[in-house]
Amino acid sequence: MNNIVSCEDLVITYQSSNGPVRALDGVDLTIAEGETLAIVGESGSGKSTLGMAMGRLLPSEAGREAGRLEVDGMPVFDMARDDLRRLRRDTLGFVFQNPMVALDPTMRIGRQMQRAMGRRARAEDIHALLERGELDDPERVANSFPHQLSGGMAQRVVVAMAIARSPRLLIADEPTASLDASIQDKVIGTLCRLRKESGASLVILSHDVHMIARHADRVAVMYGGRIVEQGTTARVLGAPVHPYTRALLKAAAGHEKPGEWLTPIPGTPPLLTGRCAACSFEPRCSVSRDICRSSRPKPRTVEEREVLCLLAGSEAERKEVAQ
């Protein structure tokens, strides 16, 4: 299988008034064609930066410091303006968290759809596309302004627009975080069905582990601007080996027994100003050793997944976990 995205040691830094903030601290990631990958992490872990980097949609204060990012074989950070436009238009489709921000409030849905589809799109085409997004009564929707739609309907419109030009890679940043629980799953279901029909790849950025467990083929867990664990969903969420992944699953409500307390992760995520010389999770880790403070972990394969932890898989660590 070919890779639609390949990313090597990508470093992205934001220049702020308080000095540089390193959002990505060396990301290695590949996304195969036709797969659904979920990137999980807390806010500030760098997942949105990584998602936006795939379309070079980062704000002007963000710059690539090192590394390489290729989408569909094209170096995103070293390409001409026209090529970049073509890439964004024909290869990528984006779905953002809040549909009301993604849609233009002053324009009817039909006209916005037409802009996404190209000038030759006829009313029937627009209606057909809205129908593919599982909107009943597409005619009424096309004649509406965004504020006349519910959040779920508006997000379906955004999904329909994202697939308008049959992209090869769909990037969904917290696509359901602003929607009600009862429709979240349906909207994700629509997104996954459309992905399957078109054979595109899908990247979901989210912190909702329940949703990810149901829909993703592979999971990449992000922390401190690096991917600390990645592998198939069943391996990573079913039997996590990185202490952070374990802590994250323990903190999420849903798997506790009645009367049990959840275990929050102590401390706060790091704000990096430069290359992290040690394990970035060490200050919050419950099983850390001296070595974690002095050396930067390299990707290793442990139990059929790639992990960034000096201790994962070792005897001592296993004992600690068993306790």
Partner 1 sequence: MRDSAIPAPVVDLDRVVVTYGGGLFGRGGFQAVKAISLQIAPGQTVGLVGESGSGKTTLGRVCLGLQPLSSGTMRFCGEAFGALRQRRGQLSVVLQHPEWALNPRLRCGRSVEEPLVILGMPAKERRGRVAAMLENVGLDAGFAERFPGQLSGGQRQRVAIARALITEPRFIVFDEAVSALDVSVQAQVLNLIRELQDRHGFGALFISHDLAATRYISHRIAVMYQGEFVEVAEAARFYGTPEHPYSRKLMATIE
For residue 135, the minimal CB distance to partner 1 (Å) is 17
For residue 56, the minimal CB distance to partner 1 (Å) is 26
Which residue, 85 or 214, has its beta carbon nearer to partner 1? 214
Which residue, 86 or 214, has its beta carbon nearer to partner 1? 214
For residue 296, the minimal CB distance to partner 1 (Å) is 23
Contact set with partner 1 (CB under 8 A): 42-43, 150-151, 180-185, 207-210, 247-248, 251-254, 256-259, 261-265, 268
> Could you give the dihedral angle defined by the CA atoms of residues 110, 111, 112 and 117, in that order, rounded to the nearest 10 degrees?
90
Which residue, 207 or 235, has its beta carbon nearer to partner 1? 207
For residue 258, the minimal CB distance to partner 1 (Å) is 4
Which residue, 106 or 182, has its beta carbon nearer to partner 1? 182
* CB neighbours of residue 106 within 10 Å: 9
User: Under a CB-based contact definition with an 8 Å cutoff, are residues 41 and 221 in contact?
Assistant: yes
Rounded to whole angstroms, the Cα distance separating 44 from 54 reads 18
Which residue, 67 or 189, has its beta carbon nearer to partner 1? 189
> Roughly what angle, to the nearest 10 degrees, separates helices 151-162 and 109-117?
20
For residue 181, the minimal CB distance to partner 1 (Å) is 4
DSSP structural state of residue 207:
S
Which residue, 257 or 298, has its beta carbon nearer to partner 1? 257
Rounded to whole angstroms, the Cα distance separating 175 from 182 reads 14
For residue 186, the minimal CB distance to partner 1 (Å) is 10
Around 162, how many Cα atoms within 13 Å sit in the side-chain half-sphere? Answer: 32
| Those residues with Cβ within 8 angstroms of residue 156's Cβ, 6 or more apart along the chain or in another chain | 130, 133, 134, 135, 187, 190
Query: What pairs with residue 86 in β-bridges?
Result: none
